[in-house]
Chain A
Amino acid sequence: MRRTIGQLAGIQVDPSRPAVALDGVTETFRLFHERPGGLKERLYRLRRASYTDFNAVEDVTFTIDHGESVAVIGHNGSGKSTLLKLLARILPPDEGTVYTNGRVASLLELGAGFHGDLTGRENIYLNGAILGLNRAEIDERFDEIVDFAGIRPLLDTAVRTYSSGLYVRLGFAIAVTVDPDILLVDEVLAVGDAEFQDRSLARMQTYRDEGKTFVLVSHDLDAVRETCDRTLVMEHGRIVFDGPVAEGVELYRQRVASAAAPPGPRRRDARRVRVDDVALLGPDGQAADEIAPSTSLTARVRLRAIAEVDVCSVGLIVTRGDGTHLYELHTTWQGVGVGPLVVDQEAVVDMRFVAHLLAGHYAITVSVTDVSGRETWAVVPDAVRFSVAPAPGGAGLVDLAGSTAVSEGPARRLNDATQTAPIPIARLQRRRRLQ
């Protein structure tokens, strides 16, 4: 029987309090304009080097209950990793309080503290001790670690001679046997081959199933969706969203899409033609924002000439929340040009299409170009957004309007299609990989 470290070290989980509680936490980094010098420089300089304070994490407050699995997502530099270091006590907060309840272990870097001249066996003991295990606990876990990493033949070889993959595997094997109450993981799953990633994901799943509290920082949104129940979306050191995984991931996708707005000429201010308004209308002529799959839509673009325009083309691009290009259409492609327009003349262009799309969030970008498409005169990124509601009948991205029939053998009519809908195969496959 394995005892948890908490019991050995006298750290007990207090079930009446949350697993993690942050209250008004701010972490400030001091960015020196020049590299801070040493003693010598301090002596002849007298004044201190100039610097700017930068809050990597700003006024963050949240609590995590026991058994919750939380993903922290956000752009690079949004403060995710700093947040994790605060939870791991590597950084003490400059303001506010960080409370953790129970034994915390962090997988921030695998194999940190390995010494190349020591053998695999010696490094297991050293690294285990760094992660807070005592000798008896490492003895207990030794075989498990060796088998998980698959290094038995190399056990008494200096780790200097290990391949980098082996190195990481050994680091991971040690780290996951620590068996904490709260586990912090930072991107480490991004290293290693596919098989290793699957195994580590499976391990995370086990943690979740065992009711351990679990905080993950990752850019792999699929992994986030598979392993976590809750997301914190961070932006500029603040938490901008705290809630269910699906919503958080979608919000993050949209933010990524808008942050990665089209570069170059598209960003320029309108020349010659200005787009005044873009509306998305359903088949009934009313504004559409949430539609059923395969609804006919009309994008109504109202534009106004700033200069005299002989002829121009209006285009639209339908994108998914994460910026994936789905469909593009220009009036010129259908032999239609808009113009001639005199200054201040208005034109309204209706672009009809059928949204053969399945559940998800989408956006439409509108542009006005010359007929050759070489010069862009106006662009409105994500001018309108719409979402497609989940509906029975198919799963995936594109509504291929499939139908089924049993051409031989008996068949039965089922009444409620949603009740009998199976889990999409794509998800099943991912789950199978995890097991």
Chain B
Amino acid sequence: MTLDHSFDESAARRLARSASGKLVELWRARELLLQLVRKELKVRYKNSALGFLWSMITPVLMTIVFSVVFTVVVPIRINHFPAFFVAGYLLWQFFQNSCRGGTDSIVGNGDLVKKVYFPREVLPLSHVFSQLVHLLLALLVISPFLIYYRGFGVLVHLPATLLAIVLLAVFTSGAAMWFAGVNVVFRDLQELFIVIFQVWFYATPVLYPLALVQASPELERRSLEWIATALLFNPMTWFVEIFREPLYGPVLRRGTDDVISLAPSWPSIGAIGIAAAWALVTFVLGYWVFLRRARTFAKEV
């Protein structure tokens, strides 16, 4: 009896200690996370303000190209297309770059992983955090442009924008850790990555509003309405929607085959709830897979 009792106690205590130990360890690694984020940003911006502007070239060019295509060549019925596109594209870039950095973070730092102990999750997380800093800076830069086109509603609904960013950051952290852990075992994930994200980009309503798909008579005619439904199962759809509503404004279906762009507004609680659920589940799953894999990183990289 006594033996059983003491065993139970020590087992429970062990579990508590390992869980609290993990938290203490992560808290202690905050300095390392901060230094790694600083490193990422310094290397990326090469220690100059101009460095940051250089990194804005891709979104600006993409915005120009797609604006020409979708307002002149194949016009779609969206007010201020550049404003509509750039908001979603910055969000997408944050997600894709974080995942790409995360994928290589363990394999690319093999020397470090094999030689020094530290909580390995700081490696993928450092990419997410440095991309987050970049996203906030980029938003600051394009905000006058958005305000000019969409009015001061952009500023009024700022809390919703920030909430959307937080939820996406949680979601992205989970995804980045998953990619990092899996890439150690399956090295060709890095090559598949480009293909996966190319497809994922077009399957996310960044280039086009979701409402336009839902209102497409063409899809209905070919009985492809399921495409609109499928888009709802893409988690990124929800993050882009709740991010763009306070920043650009909702795009709604009007009649059977038309859409209308409204001024910035609060996103619906339902959409936020779905995004939050995706974020939580992805984070827990990604972290779990990562921690399981992390035990053997030092042998495999």
Contacts and interface: CB of A to CB of B under 8 A. Distances in A.
Given A38-B188, A39-B189, A92-B295, A109 B31 contact: no
Contact of B186 (A42, A117, A125): A42
Nearest to A9: B28
A316 to B, nearest CB: 48
Interface string A81-96: 0000100111110000
B34 interface: yes
A228 to B, nearest CB: 22
Interface string B84-119: 000000000000000000000000010111111110
Nearest to B188: A38
B10 interface: no
Contacts of A40: 188
B22 to A, nearest CB: 13
A135 B35 CA distance: 9
Contacts of B188: 37-40
A122 interface: yes
Nearest to B185: A36
A222 B190 CA distance: 47
Interface stretch (A57-65, A126-134, A262-270, A360-368): A126-134
A177 to B, nearest CB: 15
A106 interface: yes
A195 to B, nearest CB: 25
B3 interface: no
Given A112-B112, A125-B35, A132 B192 contact: no
B254 interface: no
Interface size class of chain A, counting residues whose CB lies under 8 Å from the partner chain:
35 or more
A113 to B, nearest CB: 5
Nearest to A5: B28
A90 B39 contact: no
Given A38-B187, A133-B31, A113 B192 contact: no
B222 interface: no
A108 B116 contact: yes
B39 A134 contact: no
A36 B184 CA distance: 11
Given A122-B42, A126-B36, A129-B32, A90 B111 contact: no
B210 to A, nearest CB: 31
B27 to A, nearest CB: 9
B287 to A, nearest CB: 17
Contacts of B31: 129, 133-135
A132 to B, nearest CB: 7
A91 B114 CA distance: 9
B76 interface: no
Nearest to B187: A38
B43 interface: yes
A174 to B, nearest CB: 12
A296 to B, nearest CB: 55
Most A CB contacts (10 A, CB to CB) among B42, B46, B299 go to B299
B186 A91 contact: no
Interface string A30-60: 1000001111101000000000000000000
Contacts of A129: 31-32, 34-36
A109 B115 contact: yes
A113 B299 CA distance: 18
Contact of B189 (A38, A109, A115, A122): A38
Contacts of A118: 39, 42-43
Contacts of A30: 299
A100 to B, nearest CB: 11
A157 to B, nearest CB: 13
A29 interface: yes
A10 B116 contact: no
Contact of A39 (B112, B117, B192, B295): B192
B186 A112 contact: no
Contacts, number: 80
B118 A122 contact: no
A115 B298 CA distance: 20
A161 B281 CA distance: 46
Contacts of A115: 39, 43
Interface in A102-117: 104, 106, 108-109, 112-113, 115, 117
A212 B51 CA distance: 47
Contacts of B299: 29-30, 91
Contacts of B35: 125-126, 129-130
A130 B192 contact: no
A88 B111 CA distance: 15
B79 to A, nearest CB: 43
Contacts of A117: 42-43, 46
Given A38-B188, A126-B35, A90 B24 contact: no
B33 to A, nearest CB: 8
Most A CB contacts (10 A, CB to CB) among B43, B118, B185, B192 go to B118
A90 B36 contact: no
Contacts of B46: 117
A87 to B, nearest CB: 10
Nearest to B42: A118
B295 A130 contact: no
B111 A132 contact: no
Interface in A299-322: none
B8 to A, nearest CB: 19
A39 B186 contact: yes
Nearest to A35: B187
Contacts of B185: 36
B43 A132 contact: no
A90 B32 CA distance: 17
B300 to A, nearest CB: 9
Given A109-B111, A118-B39, A129-B32, A90 B187 contact: no
Contacts of A125: 35
Contact of A38 (B28, B34, B109, B186): B186
Given A9-B24, A10-B24, A115-B43, 14 more contacts: A9-B28, A30-B299, A37-B188, A42-B186, A91-B298, A106-B116, A108-B115, A108-B116, A112-B112, A118-B43, A129-B32, A129-B36, A130-B118, A133-B31
Which 9 pairs show the lowest CB-CB distances between chains A and B?
A: A38-B188, A129-B35, A129-B32, A109-B115, A39-B186, A134-B31, A89-B117, A112-B115, A108-B115
Interface of A: 9-10, 29-30, 36-40, 42, 85, 88-92, 104, 106, 108-109, 112-113, 115, 117-118, 122, 125-126, 129-135
8 contacts: A36-B185, A39-B192, A89-B117, A90-B114, A108-B115, A125-B35, A130-B32, A130-B112
Interface of B: 24, 28, 31-32, 34-36, 38-39, 42-43, 46, 109, 111-118, 185-189, 192, 295, 298-299
